Amino acid sequence: MSDISIALLLILSLFLVLGSGVWIGLTLSGVAWIGMELFSARPAGDAMAVTIWGSASGWTLTALPLFLWMGEVLFRTKVSQDMFKGLAPWMQSLPGRLLHTNVAGCAVFAAVSGSSAATCATIGKMTLPELKRRGYPDDMVIGTLAGAGTLGLLIPPSIIMIVYGVSADVSIAKLFIAGVVPGILLAILFSGYIAIWAITHPDRVPPSDARMPFGEKLRASLSLIPVALLILAVLGSIYTGIATATEAAAVGVVGALVISAAQGSLDWRTFKESLLGATRLYCMMALILAGAAFLTLAMGYIGLPRHLAEWIGSLGLSKFQLIVMLAIFYIVLGCFLDGISMVVLTMGVIMPTVLAAGIDPVWFGIFIVLVVEMAQITPPVGFNLFVLQGMTGKDLLYIARVTLPMFFLMVAAVLIIYFVPQLVTWLPQQMAP
């Protein structure tokens, strides 16, 4: 059979099994086993055992359950209320006023969460009722929250960056630091959009709350100190080289437990729920990663990545054309798969082509995170859309429509980091080796 026929058969098998409701991790392993049995001389059973054990026993992957646990602990605290109380007084004088709390709150919580859905749910838990009570329009409140929630993937620590780093063999610490400036850039784009909307629609912006003296603003901001210290401990320890990403994740868990205890929200029930929640999430992700590692190995034995790279190379695409093609590919793929599945499913095939084109793997990691962020707000499988549908009761298509401006701002962010790649690469280059 030709390479194209083999590729089509495997892709068809993949979507047929996925469509039947089988778990993604088991589907990936099953398709890989079929591919190796039919088109490779190596025994599939032996390869599966070695690969799955190797993918599950890597030390780097330890950061993933720890960051998940940290996010689960913080989700059950009063952090979102404290952040709203600390941020709101400073937003009153900006065009758009308290709408900016969606963006600022998500940006701050993203730095201690790592999950887009958790960021969206935690900040939405506070801002949705508060902004509705004050009379802010639903379309702007929901749209900006859905978009800003995706900062949970871009601003470190990020679960998807850990998955990419493990799948593509790229330094997770460098990916974390590389995401800082693009994350701030995207937050500025979101806030800029809110400001322009407010200036052009002054009749839809509710009046400002009573003016608060500067001293009172500062006192209100004291509630941000625990989160700020946690961010400093996690990211500062990585950036200064004191800790690896895994060690920083352990610091984050301890810090989250201390914050929870100080707020009085840490008891046996919340401790157990947070631990079980993180365990369930990690088991799902570990199964997907193990299946993807086996599928990558199978495709390597069949020769598909090499042939695909040769085919793309024969097209004579420029670097920009390749990036555009990959962006479209991932956005379409994001309509059907979640972000983690997208990354682990494609890295084995895409990375040889990316490296052959001379694209920095750290820069490409941030690019992947941005396009996966777009998938978070793209129906029918946009997780942030599902979160907001559950929280607001609004129709999924309505939420997708009001979130569309945020999607285009993410496209703008991709273009900006393409033409100014130093926004991504400069900070990692300053890290201690």
Question: For residue 305, which amino acid is it?
Answer: P
- The whole-number pLDDT of residue 375 equals 79
Q: Given a cut of 70, is residue 4 above it in pLDDT?
A: no
Mean pLDDT (whole number) for 275-284:
84
- The whole-number pLDDT of residue 73 equals 84
- The whole-number pLDDT of residue 339 equals 75
Mean pLDDT (whole number) for 265-288:
84
Q: Give the model confidence (pLDDT) of 372-428 as tens digits.
A: 888 778 776 677 787 788 778 888 788 889 999 999 999 999 999 999 999 999 988
255 φ, ψ (degrees, to nearest 5):
-60, -40
- The whole-number pLDDT of residue 421 equals 94
Q: Give the model confidence (pLDDT) of 87-141 as tens digits.
A: 878 887 888 888 898 898 888 888 777 777 777 877 887 788 888 888 889 899 9
Q: What percent of the chain has pLDDT over 90?
A: 18
- The whole-number pLDDT of residue 323 equals 92
pLDDT band at 186 (very low <50, low <70, confident <90, very high): very high
pLDDT band at 364 (very low <50, low <70, confident <90, very high): very high
Return the number of other C-beta atoms located less than 10 Å from residue 131's C-beta: 25
In a domain, 313, yes or no: yes
In a domain, 127, yes or no: yes
In a domain, 28, yes or no: no
In a domain, 289, yes or no: no
Q: How far apart are the first and last CA of the chain?
A: 47
In a domain, 340, yes or no: yes
CA distances from 319 to 312, 326, 408, 424 (A): 11, 11, 21, 17
CA distances from 130 to 102, 133, 179, 394, 432 (A): 11, 5, 30, 17, 44
- Reading the block at residue 388, the tokens are 């907001």
Mean pLDDT (whole number) for 214-241:
81
- The whole-number pLDDT of residue 408 equals 94
Mean pLDDT (whole number) for 224-233:
84
More confident residue, 189 or 9: 189
Give the contacts of 130 (CB within 8 A, at least 6 positions apart): 84, 98
- The whole-number pLDDT of residue 199 equals 92
- The whole-number pLDDT of residue 130 equals 81
- The whole-number pLDDT of residue 433 equals 54
Give the contacts of 306 (CB within 8 A, at least 6 positions apart): 352
- What whole-number distance in Å separates Cα of residue 203 and Cα of residue 421? 40
In a domain, 278, yes or no: no
Q: What is the three-class DSSP state of 1?
A: coil
Q: What is the three-class DSSP state of 339?
A: helix
Of 125-129, 163-167, 260-264, 412-416, where does mean pLDDT reach its minimum?
Answer: 125-129
Report H helices in 303-360: 304-314, 319-333, 339-356
Q: Give the model confidence (pLDDT) of 60-69 as tens digits.
A: 667 778 878 8
Report H helices in 377-431: 383-392, 396-419, 422-430
- The whole-number pLDDT of residue 1 equals 55
More confident residue, 194 or 106: 194
Q: Given a cut of 60, is residue 432 above it in pLDDT?
A: no
- The whole-number pLDDT of residue 24 equals 73
Give the contacts of 379 (CB within 8 A, at least 6 positions apart): 335, 385, 396, 397, 400
Q: Give the model confidence (pLDDT) of 290-332 as tens digits.
A: 887 787 777 777 776 666 666 766 777 888 999 998 888 888 7
The domain tally of the chain equals: 1
- What whole-number distance in Å separates Cα of residue 116 and Cα of residue 159? 9
Q: What is the mean pLDDT of the chain?
A: 82
- The whole-number pLDDT of residue 3 equals 60
- The whole-number pLDDT of residue 425 equals 92
In a domain, 11, yes or no: no
Burial class (CB in 10 A: 0-12, 13-18, 19+), 328: exposed
- The whole-number pLDDT of residue 160 equals 87
Query: Which regions of 42-87 does DSSP assign to beta strands (E)?
Result: none
Of 2-6, 233-237, 261-265, 350-354, where does mean pLDDT reach its minimum?
Answer: 2-6
Mean pLDDT (whole number) for 272-296:
81
Mean pLDDT (whole number) for 331-340:
73
Q: Give the model confidence (pLDDT) of 420-431 as tens digits.
A: 999 999 988 876
CA dihedral 408, 104, 258, 242 (to 10 degrees): 70
In a domain, 360, yes or no: yes
Segments forming the whole domain that contains residue 167: 58-266+303-430
Q: What percent of the chain has pLDDT over 70?
A: 91
Q: Given a cut of 90, is residue 49 above it in pLDDT?
A: no
